[in-house]
Amino acid sequence: MENAEIVIAITTDQSGIVRYDQKLCADCHSSLSKIGLESSSLGNATDFLENHPPFKVSVLEMSPDQSWDVSRLALSSPDLIESSNLKFPHDVHVSEEGIEGLDSVVVLTCDSCHVAEKGGLSMKPVTMEKHCADCHQLTFDPDAPDRVVPHGSPKDLLQQLEGYYAYEFFQQEGQGQDPQAKVNAYNIERLGEQRDARRPGRRRDRQVINAPMFAQTASNAMTLRAKETIDLRVADAAANLFERQTCTICHEISPQEGDVPWKVLPVKLTDDWMPLAEFSHDSHVSMDCGGCHETETSADAADVLMPDIKNCQECHGGEHSGDLLQSTCITCHKFHLDNQEPMTAQSLVSSKWCACG
Ligand code: HEC
Ligand code: HEC
Ligand code: HEC
Ligand code: HEC
Ligand code: HEC
Ligand code: HEC
Ligand code: HEC
């Protein structure tokens, strides 16, 4: 009796009698509606080469309350976009001609930013500090190209700027200069000028402006004139950072009410595009990354660069394939999925699940 055979196979895996054949899965997956799943959104599958649905991917989307929802979309869907709130064009960064680096033009390779976790199931996260900061330095004032702000919270950043400009103000005053004159000159010079540079400058000797600077100056009594001057410079530098030059290169930024009038929208990069299957980069190290991910021509982080089933079918066939790698369902899928009812004897023999009426 076929049913009993399945039960034995699955429930006796400690004795080593485990079935790996695709029929085990195909009994149900040949027709999910026949086993009572009228509303299943899953396509049927009986053999990887001959009958398996095209892949879908899980994409994240931020809802208005800024939590993240996952939806499953076909790779061919016109609605398929990645909306991580991070901007990043692969094409210019991985160009064969290279890209301007700290001192010279460098050729970035995929592993400059993507390194597989142990086991190869996913990639280590890409971060600003590790993978972007050398080239994209967070300068804020063209008059002080060697100063940068730390990467992170806009609120802290405004505080750092206040500290920095207060420090500068008292330094200049101490040297007998008139800081207000400098502000006036600065603003006239830049009146109406659109500074939308595509990338801030880079220098080796950059110095992060920091809290001690602030502490040092906080003890100075603030005159009204000092405060006004400092506020002006902070506002100008902040607008420059958030709206024109620096943060906005990589981030989606929206205006908001309050002390900090800019919000950096949360960034969330997908790390599991195909959660229903297991794919290991380690088993495919000999392949070129570009064979599966079309990055060279991607100018927008919104592009989804995941391979479709046709790509895998160049090498992987079904269980009985003659000239391709013989792959059964559990080459790529776990026995069943964690969030599914376990495939116990109970679920298999109940009439609802029985595929062999
Ligand atoms: C007893 C029937 C049965 C057998 C045998 C079976 N499945 Fe399933 N499988 C199901 C049902 C039912 C679902 C859920 C469908 C849904 O939620 O729409 C499912 C879902 C899945 C999914 C999608 C997971 C998800 O969360 O939606 C995958 C992948 C899958 N099965 C793979 C397999 C593989 C591989 C095997 C063989 C090792 C297998 N199944 C054997 C009935 C079965
Ligand atoms: C300078 C760093 C950097 C380099 C170099 C780089 N990437 Fe990326 N990659 C990113 C960032 C940032 C993201 C997330 C934003 C996005 O989706 O574009 C990403 C996302 C991805 C994704 C998943 C997102 C998707 O849309 O499918 C793939 C696949 C990928 N990169 C492949 C590659 C390959 C292949 C190369 C080499 C040709 C490469 N990357 C080189 C930074 C880099
Ligand atoms: C080796 C240096 C280098 C690294 C590393 C680097 N970039 Fe770039 N990036 C550049 C240069 C140079 C440009 C300007 C390219 C151009 O416009 O031709 C640029 C342009 C950009 C742009 C497009 C700006 C525009 O106006 O089109 C974005 C967005 C960006 N980088 C994000 C990132 C992110 C995110 C990372 C890290 C994951 C990163 N970059 C890592 C050098 C680098
Ligand atoms: C060259 C690209 C780049 C620039 C320029 C940049 N960031 Fe980022 N930022 C990133 C990346 C990549 C992440 C996500 C990974 C990480 O945290 O490093 C991020 C994450 C963040 C986060 C966390 C967001 C969240 O909720 O997950 C904040 C806040 C932030 N950045 C603020 C800023 C501010 C403020 C500026 C301008 C001073 C700035 N960033 C400039 C690349 C950049
Ligand atoms: C070479 C690898 C490979 C083999 C072999 C394979 N699959 Fe898949 N399968 C995948 C990948 C990758 C996905 C997409 C994963 C995702 O959507 O998260 C997928 C998706 C699925 C889905 C979800 C379909 C949908 O509509 O979204 C089901 C069900 C499934 N496979 C069942 C099977 C069954 C049953 C077999 C055996 C007859 C099998 N697969 C063989 C790689 C494979
Ligand atoms: C045989 C096809 C194939 C090759 C070759 C390949 N990938 Fe992938 N890659 C995939 C698949 C499939 C996924 C989706 C896996 C998942 O999310 O479950 C993926 C996911 C990714 C992701 C996003 C997931 C994450 O954890 O961030 C990045 C980035 C990535 N690959 C980079 C690379 C790089 C870099 C190389 C070259 C060293 C490479 N890939 C080679 C098929 C491939
Ligand atoms: C150029 C040929 C080639 C392509 C294309 C290819 N694979 Fe493979 N794959 C292999 C080889 C070779 C192995 C190793 C087989 C072995 O070790 O028995 C393998 C192994 C695997 C394994 C088993 C991992 C393990 O070691 O346990 C999975 C899962 C897999 N591939 C999934 C995929 C998916 C999904 C795709 C498409 C996105 C894909 N492969 C595309 C050649 C390929």
pLDDT in tens, 78-137: 999 999 999 999 999 999 999 999 889 999 999 999 999 988 888 999 999 999 999 999
Residues 81 and 46 in one domain: yes
Cα–Cα separations (whole angstroms), residue 264 to 85, 93, 233, 302:
9, 23, 21, 18
What's the whole-number mean pLDDT along residues 232-261? 92
Residues 156 and 239 in one domain: yes
Show the ligand 5 pocket: residues with CB < 6 angstroms: 22, 25-26, 29, 42-43, 45-48, 52-53, 55-56, 274-277, 312, 316, 327, 329, 331-333
Reference 340, options 38, 9, 42; nearest CA is: 42
133 domain-assigned = no
Q: Which two tokens stand for residue 10?
A: 């699955």
- What pLDDT does 221 receive? 61
Cα angle 31, 335, 20; round to 5:
85
Show the ligand 4 pocket: residues with CB < 6 angstroms: 86, 127-129, 132, 136, 138, 149, 151-154, 157, 241, 246-247, 249-251, 264, 266-267
Residues 258 and 321 in one domain: no
The total number of structural domains that make up the chain: 2
The answer to whether 145 touches 203, Cβ cutoff 8 Å, is yes
310 domain-assigned = yes
CB of 309 shorter than 6 A to ligand 6: no
The answer to whether 157 touches 261, Cβ cutoff 8 Å, is no
181 domain-assigned = yes
User: Taking the alpha carbons of 35, 38, 40, 41 in that order, is the dihedral positive or negative?
Assistant: positive
24 domain-assigned = yes
Question: Minimum mean pLDDT among 8-22, 138-152, 200-214: which range?
Answer: 8-22
pLDDT in tens, 187-246: 555 544 444 455 555 666 677 776 555 555 555 566 788 888 899 999 999 999 999 889
Ligand sitting nearest the alpha carbon of 24: 1
Residues 340 and 319 in one domain: yes
CB of 287 shorter than 6 A to ligand 6: yes
80 domain-assigned = yes
Residues 280 and 247 in one domain: no
Residues 151 and 260 in one domain: yes
Terminal CA-CA length for the chain: 12
Residues 310 and 254 in one domain: no
- What pLDDT does 32 receive? 87
CB of 304 shorter than 6 A to ligand 2: yes
137 domain-assigned = no
* Domain residue limits at 56: 2-85+270-287+296-349
91 domain-assigned = no
Residues 303 and 259 in one domain: no
Q: Is a pLDDT exceeding 80 seen at residue 149?
A: yes
Residue with tokens 């040092």: 216
109 domain-assigned = no
Reference 164, options 190, 131, 141; nearest CA is: 141
What's the whole-number mean pLDDT along residues 25-34? 89
Q: Residue 308 and residue 311: Cα distance in Å, rounded?
A: 6
Pocket of ligand 1, candidates 331, 337, 354: which has the most ligand atoms within 8 Å of its Cβ, to mutate?
A: 337
The answer to whether 328 touches 20, Cβ cutoff 8 Å, is yes
Residues 222 and 242 in one domain: yes
pLDDT in tens, 293-349: 999 999 999 999 999 999 999 999 999 999 999 999 999 998 775 555 544 443 443
What's the whole-number mean pLDDT along residues 175-196? 57
The answer to whether 209 touches 163, Cβ cutoff 8 Å, is yes
Q: Residue 273 and residue 282: Cα distance in Å, rounded?
A: 17
State the CB neighbour count (10 A cutoff) for residue 105. 10
Residues 209 and 316 in one domain: no
Residues 180 and 254 in one domain: yes
What backbone torsions phi and psi does residue 56 show, to the nearest 5 degrees? -110, 160
Residue with tokens 């006239």: 188
Reference 308, options 55, 71, 80, 58; nearest CA is: 55
Q: Position 223: which residue type?
A: T
- Index of the ligand 1 atom closest to the CA of residue 353: 1
- What pLDDT does 342 receive? 47
Residues 155 and 257 in one domain: yes
Q: Residue 217 and residue 166: Cα distance in Å, rounded?
A: 6
**More confident site: 12 or 163:** 163
pLDDT in tens, 268-278: 999 899 999 99
Reference 149, options 197, 232, 207; nearest CA is: 207
